[in-house]
Amino acid sequence: MLTLLYFILAISLLVVIHEYGHFWVARRCGVRVLRFSVGFGKPLWSFRDRHGTEFAIAPIPLGGFVSMLDEREAPVPEHLQQQAFNRKSPWARIAIASAGPLANFIFAILAYWALFVAGTSGLVPVVGQVKPDSVAQLAGIRSGDEIVAVQQHPTPTWEAVNWQLLNFIGEDADIQLTVTDADGLQRQVWLSVNRWLAGPEVPDPFAALGLEPRQLPIPAIIGEVMPGEAAERAGLQAGDRIVAVNNDPVIDWYDWVERIRPTAGEALAVELERAGKTVTLVLTPGRRTDEQGNHSGFIGAQVAVPEYPAGWVRTSYSGVLEGLQRGWQKTVDLTVFTLDSLWKMLLGDVSVKNLSGPITIAKVAGASAAGGLEAFVGFLALLSVSLAVLNLLPVPVLDGGHILFYAAEILRGKPLPERVQAVAVQVGMFLLLSLMLVAFYNDIGRL
């Protein structure tokens, strides 16, 4: 229910921002707005302002719309014809169609600005393990190295490293990394990749390069037990410290997880410490299947995560003007990344299984909200950029398609023939529905 609530909150907020952009510019272009609706369907609640615009909330929270006076939709009284959308110049119509995506871009810039000014935190990108014979090892990366830049772009956190590496998906390239070793000596290394991560459905840049982030030592202490799962049935409780499995000592939480994974359906004798006493339980892990169809043991227990040491976390703050510049740059970078990813998907360099629909968006909304305000605001900004970019694609029925029609009208000196527009809209609807079906299929597969 919380996941659904955060999904509705995220979608509703971004739709209001998007549609308000259309609404605000339409009003200033002299267009009469009939309805501003958040959601689809029969309004659950509505009111009218002094201009006669109906503001409504509808029950299907998967979008919204601004309805304007238009002679192509219904007859318009003569005294109101100058307020009709279709009577406005192509330039005015382009401004109105562009205003929704522009509002989403502005929101993203302001959201990132607020985050940068308030301060953003992330794990310092220090390498933990390097897989033998991997791309990272062959390039000379060693355990304990800190990645300070990718292609000369500073990377203060692992998140920054990840975003820079994702730009190379599907490419043949020599990726330049600047690293600093434990003694503070800086050097350059190059990672040679070919059609990198073109095939995987869920790209993992770090695993593909053969490196792992530094791991926090985590003792095998149960933090939370999920109701109805194997851990609860066996009698495990929050605060229990796992000592041994089948008389074999457990080193830490990672070791505990590795013991559980291959033992689905197998009875295990688990020795643990509880309130200073030693307790032995019989635990039979259940079975879980991942997106690739691999099976593993699952008990339904979460770890009690200790606090990160101060030196492991890096927090950066920006001034008001610097934060605005960083917010602008972050939004531009995400826009370029989104367009580049779509292009690579068309070329087949990126799997279409990376497309996500509302189910995945809802799951990410819930997870980011659980991660705190910073994570949720960052998710909203990212989703806002995606919404803006997708709406500006030159596909009829989207804002970008309408802009394309109006631009053609400016070049021709008259509108495109109605038959051409009708066929284009049908093609656009087919493309959009096909995209939605693929996204829904991917969502269901991930479940």
How many residues can be counted in the chain? 447
Q: How many C-beta atoms surround the C-beta of residue 432 within 10 A?
A: 17
The edge-to-edge listing of strands for the beta sheet with 54-57 is 45-48, 54-57, 33-40, 60-68
* Active-site option among 19, 54, 212, 409: 19
- Is 179 within 8 Å of 189 (Cβ atoms)? yes
- Rounded (5°) CA angle 188-190-194: 165
Separation of CA 101 from chain center = 18
Q: Is 159 a residue of the active site?
A: no
* Residue 122 CA, distance from chain mean position: 17
Question: Residue 297 burial (CB < 10 Å; 0-12/13-18/19+)?
Answer: buried
Give the separation between CA 205 and CA 196, rounded to whole angstroms: 9
**427, two tokens:** 């093609």
Cβ burial, residue 20 (10 Å; 0-12/13-18/19+)? middle
Rounded to whole angstroms, the Cα distance separating 324 from 117 reads 9
For residue 404, give the amino acid letter: L
- Is 21:100 a contact under the CB 8 Å cutoff? yes
Positions marked active-site = 19
